[in-house]
A and B are shown apart, each in its own frame.
Chain A
Amino acid sequence: MSRLAERFAERTAADSSALVTYLVAGDPAPAVTVPTMHALAGAGADVIELGIPFSDPEAEGADIQAGCERALAHKVRLRDVLDMVVAFRQQDTRTAVVLMGYLNSVEAMGYERFAAAAAEAGVDGVILVNLPPEEAEELRQALGALGVDLIFLLAPTTTDVRARHVLGVASGFVYYVSLKGPTGSANLDVAGVRTRLDDLRALTGLPMAVGFGIRDGATARAVAEFADGVVVGSALVRRMGELAADPESIPAAAAAFASELRAAMDAA
């Protein structure tokens, strides 16, 4: 079983959900990232999504855009992001790590080189926001051959016909985008998401994680009632941004936030 599958299976067996936390690699400074990843894992995060900073994050709301800009001010490159995973893995071989970003970063490195480097670093999965399955075959094979999952997203606007097609090539887990909008939007319709997820479950045995619009214990708890995983991104990145002037305080603050989410979810 892959590390991703194990983490989800474990939480499901305990009648809870996996906590998936997102941060931008190198935000607000490169030295903060690995300690923050350890802090999140220690507080109950099962999967860490590590954002690859990109100059033009077109699907991102204001919080994650700002996170990318803070990281890029330090000229954080994809190679640096992979090195952070290598460093993290020296102490943690349990928590799943998923890289999340935009296709151009990977194209610039080259598919084969990226797949090899990601696998070697201990990356479990890759999410590329602007890479739909139709264009993904070459990369999917390159990653798949080395045991790295290419994870796809489904949205409220995805039709059933298309969902079947996407799920036919999906691996790792399914990332369900809970609302129309960039990351960090408000207005999560929990009941609507639940109904949709029930429909999709008929089409796949993969774990289903829900993201976009989950900002605190209450929303995490509501989604954990029915989802296999709860993704929290913008709310964490915003907190990290607020502490940018005092980077030493970030790992502890991230841990406190993750504990709050974890406790709320476990009470669901």
Chain B
Amino acid sequence: MSREEVMTTQQAQRSSFEAADGMVSFADYNFPDERGHFGRFGGRFVAETLTHALDELDRVYRTLKADPAFQRRIDRDLAEFVGRPSPLYLAERLTRELGGAKVYLKREDLNHTGAHKVNNTIGQALLAQHMGKRRIIAETGAGQHGVASATVAARLGMECVVYMGAEDVERQSLNVYRMKLLGARVVPVESGSRTLKDAMNEAMRDWVTHVDDTHYIIGTVAGPHPYPSLVRDFQAVIGRETREQCLAAEGRLPDVLVACVGGGSNALGLFHPFIRDAGVRMVGVEAGGDGIATGRHAAPLCAGVPGVLHGNRTYLMEDEDGQIIATHSISAGLDYPGVGPEHAFLKDLGRAEYVAVTDEEALRAFHHLTRTEGIMPALETSHAIAWVMEHAPQMDSEQIIVVNLSGRGDKDILTVARHDGIEL
């Protein structure tokens, strides 16, 4: 395969797609295959030492997935510890102001620890426990996944080490302190660009060294098989609830689903239960940073090429020599040069659309939602809100948009204040 291969690009809302053996209806969508491939994306590209641990994880997960007792345990934890189901909230004032489609917010910000990340860590911690692993490691960007990992580790009495880029340690200092309060050790990573990708490299190095007693909780739908599908399954509770709640409130499915995309877990959690419904449009919003044209962004689906990093083949931001290039976003949780392989696949199929929103637009959306609804979104989430602010007015009042309100903005107030020139 070579980069010269022409990429097929999106053609939204098709009802079928071309698989290796002909046209297949989205109603039959069932990915990945046995080895974790979503078409040509995904797979497992890791050092040999880790293969055994990934095989074991895959085997244990497949068994437990089919085990009603395990599912009941997860459901109970999600209800009693996380506080699910999260509400599907009709943002009336925002809707009125925008003067177009009805806007619903899926309130993942109301989860314990303040973001969707905990849906995944609850599930993976139970897997770790089942495999007899006593030690948990995680990478984190914004610190939300680190906090969610430290939280479940505290609850189950496990040791927890969180790798975090040194730059993110600075810009997300509140979450660093939260993790420490929860008993986790936070290791600042000084190599490379000192952000999320470097934290992931360092977590892989830890895992390769302590693979016997350690489970690596990857925080998004990326990494080697089985992580992309495993994390997706744990996050799909978002979409399943949304479906039921929307049917109950409106008697029909939403027209558009919108979510921000870093690695892509909150987006895929919302999208996945709707993939087979070809009439539901799905929009993933990447971090446009200073603007795609400037090159200073974190939007691999909008402006990247296929490559291999962190265990899977996906769209990446890289130079012509395959070196991963530095990304930029005001939001630490979106500041990553890759993206989950299933998003790469959905993009090529034309089943989902991916767009980018700049730092400035995201900040404006942050302030706007805070003032109109009394809900302060995370800067990651603000990217999805910005898309809604631009597009809802062009839709008619019968149409329904659901935005994944993936997390709350408390962690970001220092960044926002600094940007607005305010000294706290």
Chain A residues near B (Cβ < 8 Å): 54-61, 65, 69, 72, 77-79, 102-113, 129-132, 134-135, 138, 152-159, 162, 166, 177, 180-182, 185
Contact = CB atoms under 8 A, between A and B. Distances in A.
A110 B204 CA distance: 26
B346 interface: no
B202 to A, nearest CB: 9
B322 interface: yes
Given A56-B197, A104-B307, A182-B205, A129 B47 contact: yes
Contact of A108 (B205, B208, B322): B322
A72 B323 contact: yes
A132 B49 contact: no
Interface in B162-188: none
B35 to A, nearest CB: 6
B320 A110 contact: no
A135 B35 CA distance: 10
> Top 6 nearest A-B pairs by Cβ distance?
A110-B2, A108-B322, A155-B49, A181-B209, A157-B52, A104-B322
B2 A55 contact: no
B324 A108 contact: no
Interface string B47-62: 1111111000000000
Contact of A153 (B47, B192, B307, B320): B47
A213 to B, nearest CB: 12
A132 B45 contact: yes
A54 B420 CA distance: 38
Interface residues of B, number: 43
A39 B309 CA distance: 34
Contacts of A69: 191
Given A60-B205, A107-B307, A135-B43, 13 more contacts: A55-B192, A57-B201, A58-B205, A59-B205, A65-B191, A79-B321, A104-B309, A134-B43, A138-B1, A180-B49, A180-B208, A180-B209, A181-B209
B307 A108 contact: yes
B383 interface: no
Contact of B51 (A78, A113, A132): A132
* Binding site secondary structure of chain B: mixed
Contacts of A59: 47, 204-205, 208
Given A111-B2, A135-B45, A162-B51, A54 B323 contact: yes
A112 B1 CA distance: 8
Nearest to B325: A55
A135 B44 contact: yes
Interface in B20-44: 35, 43-44
A104 B1 contact: no
B3 A108 contact: yes
Contact of A182 (B209, B324, B325): B209
In this complex, which of B2, B4, B323, B324 has the most chain A Cβ atoms within 10 angstroms of its Cβ? B323
Contacts of A105: 321-322
B416 interface: no
23 contacts: A57-B201, A58-B200, A69-B191, A77-B321, A104-B318, A108-B321, A110-B2, A111-B1, A112-B2, A113-B2, A130-B308, A132-B45, A134-B35, A134-B44, A135-B44, A135-B45, A157-B51, A158-B51, A158-B52, A159-B52, A162-B51, A177-B48, A177-B49
A134 B58 CA distance: 16
B311 interface: yes
B323 A55 contact: yes
B212 A56 contact: no
A132 B208 contact: no
A158 B211 CA distance: 12
B191 A157 contact: no
B45 A130 contact: yes
Contacts of B197: 56
B131 interface: no
A179 to B, nearest CB: 9
Contacts of A154: 48
Contact of B1 (A65, A72, A79, A107): A107
Contacts of B243: none
Contacts of A162: 51-52
Q: Which of A57, A60, A104, A166 has the most CB of B within 10 A?
A: A104
